[in-house]
Structure 1
Amino acid sequence: MYIVAILGNITILYIVKREQSLHEPMYYFLCMLAVTDLALSTSIVPKTLSIFWFNSREIAFGACFTQLHSTILTNSIVAKISLAVVLRGFMIILPIPIMGSRWPYCKTNIIPHTYCKHFSVVSLACADIRPSSYYSVCVTFIVPSVDGFLIAVSYTQILRTIFRLPTNDARFKAFGTCGTHLCALSALYIPDLFVSLMQRIGSYVPLPVLILMANVNLLVHPMLHPIIYGVRTKQIRDRLLWIVTQKRA
């Protein structure tokens, strides 16, 4: 899954950079998603693999909290939207490692996980971690709820436009694209919410199952996004086929 994620996202970045006709807002956002997926998986998976391959079971304190860190369009508007998305992510996530790094850790330094998942780390603190836990729970539920509401509003507008399309074929293609995007969103939010909930009621779920679910969930999004947004996008698919056939020739 990690190999597919790396190759898929790098391929998308390469194709968009190389093909001048793809230098448009839609593909800029696709590249942002690819960079995010690469950063997410690469910040965690290599260290996880080193545990199994080289028995490297230690991680520095700082590195652990680093792992705790998703009108007519013009380039200017795209840049502003991109900046807003990045700032939103930092503002939401940054309090988690800041609060967690301030707790005194006098218990065991063994984390029952393959990477520094928030709840697994702060559970080792010798302090009242309720502020950190409450904030984490709020992020887990409020962010998907707000995003879900905004997505619903957006798709309401999209559906209105789809029903105004002149032909059934155009409507079918539009519905297919929207369905694909909704599947991608479901693959992002539902497993993450499920894993977060299971982490907090872990006494009912065997620890190996929790660890497996968390690791698979970590790789699902970076692996699926190049397939959903790349392979199904005609311009990227055609350009990839052209590059492959040219190299063979």
Structure 2
Amino acid sequence: MFLNKSHLPATFLLTGMPGLESLYRWISFPFCFMFFMSIVGNSLILLVIIKDYKLHQPMFFFLTMLAITDLLFTLVTSPSVLGIFLFDYKVIRSQLCLLQMFFIHSLSITESSLLVAMAFDRYVAICHPLRYTSTLTSSAVAKAGLVSALRGTLIHIPPVSSLQFLPYCNGNALSHSYCLHQDVMELACHGTNTFNIMYGLAIILCTVTLDLILIVLSYILILRAVFHVTKMDRYKLFNTCVSHLCAVFLFYVPIVALSIVHRFGKQVSPLFMNIMANAYLFLPSVLNPIIYSIKSKQIREVLLQMFHGRPRDC
């Protein structure tokens, strides 16, 4: 089972929904539907923004990056999840597990960074509208996207790589239907993963926690600005932020809850933990395209034109 005392197990065993094994075939239907909705929804968002030059604006460029991130998230996680619920195949090779883990965590930090960039976009648009085009140029948006991707990628190379050199004393059974760093780390022998624990805590504080603070500060400044306009204008300004606020809620609530459960909820039932993990996995990538399609008039009009041949309003 083990290569030697200082390396990863040859394989890991993934976990689906503990106690519901007899219902896996039925459970696979909503999972397949959610994966399908994620792929179709995010692909449509990309197609709409690429197709219509009027949507070639900073806000929609950031939305394009968000859709690409969600799409990659779905493609990275779908093989192991569907393998369990469709074919009851729970084995994953250790190197594939590390690769999946790396992409999941990297994409999560990238998405968090993009949500910060989108909050800044809303702040400039509402608080400094005259400087919007000069501040958020195409070059600035591209650099923000590149920094987000590099930040998510580089920060996870050390902890994921270090897992290969830990001794493992606690078997090879993981808690979820895909690989997470903290899940694999818990299988290491006691006292050997201090670096991963401290580094993981530093990542949370310097990325997700910091990003959430920056987003909150952005909206505090936005609130201060909108209180000085008329009630009608206030409604219009708030309405431009609703989609982003929903995306923030969908992303941060599951990821924060899952981190808390992993670190402090030792007595939490495995089924509840898996539900939380799947919420972290599916909610943003499935619902973000729906929310932006409903709340964004420009995207909605292009979609109507694509599917019904309805001309856009002048």
TM-score by length of 2: 0.72
**Which of 121, 124, 134 matches 2:198?**
134
Q: Which runs of 5+ in 2 are unaligned?
A: 1-33, 103-110, 112-130
* Residue 44 (structure 2) pairs with residue 11 (structure 1): yes
Question: 1:178 maps to what in 2?
Answer: 241
Kept in 1, the 8 Å contact 2:176–2:277? The answer is no
- CA 230–93 in structure 1, closer or farther in 2 if over 3 Å, else same: farther
Partner of 1:36: 69
Find the residue that maps to 2:89 and give its secondary structure: coil
Distance 2:56 2:165 in 1: 44
Match of 1:83 in 2: 146
More divergent stretch after superposition (59-68 vs 25-34):
59-68
State how many pairs are aligned.
246
- Asked if the contact 2:254/2:279 (under 8 Å) is kept, the reply is no
Secondary structure of the 2:90 match is: coil
> Which residue pairs with 1:189 in the alignment?
252
List alignment gaps of at least 5 residues for structure 1.
none
SS in 1 for 2:266: helix
Q: For 1:33-92, what per-residue CA distance to the aligned partner results, in whole angstroms no more than 9, with x for missing partners?
A: 001011112211232111121122221222111222315222111111111111121233
Distance in 2 between the 1:5 and 1:50 partners?
18
Letter in structure 1 aligned against 2:199: Y
Match 1:56 to one of 79, 89, 93: 89
Following superposition, the deviation at residue 170 of structure 1 comes to: 2.4
SS at match of 1:59: strand
Q: After TM superposition, list the pairs within 5 Å mapping 1:147-162 onto structure 2.
A: 147-162=211-226
Change (3 A) 1:203 1:160: closer
CA distance, structure 1, for counterparts of residue 177 and residue 143 of structure 2: 36
Q: Which residue of 1 aligns with 2:166?
A: 103
User: For 1:5-25, what per-residue CA distance to the aligned partner results, in whole angstroms no more than 9, with x for missing partners?
Assistant: 211111100111111211222
Give RMSD over aligned pairs. 2.1
> Which residue number in structure 1 is paired with residue 280 of structure 2?
217
Q: State the 4+ residue runs in structure 1 displaced beyond 4 angstroms.
A: none
Q: CA deviation at 1:202?
A: 3.9
Question: Within 1, Cα distance between the matches of 2:172 and 2:100?
Answer: 16
Percent of aligned pairs with the same amino acid: 37
- TM value normalised by structure 1: 0.89
Q: Secondary structure at the match of 1:205?
A: coil
C-alpha displacement of 1:174: 1.2
Distance 1:205 1:145, change over 3 A: same
Change in CA separation of 1:156 and 1:216 when aligned onto 2, cut-off 3 Å:
closer
Structure 2 counterpart of 1:201: 264
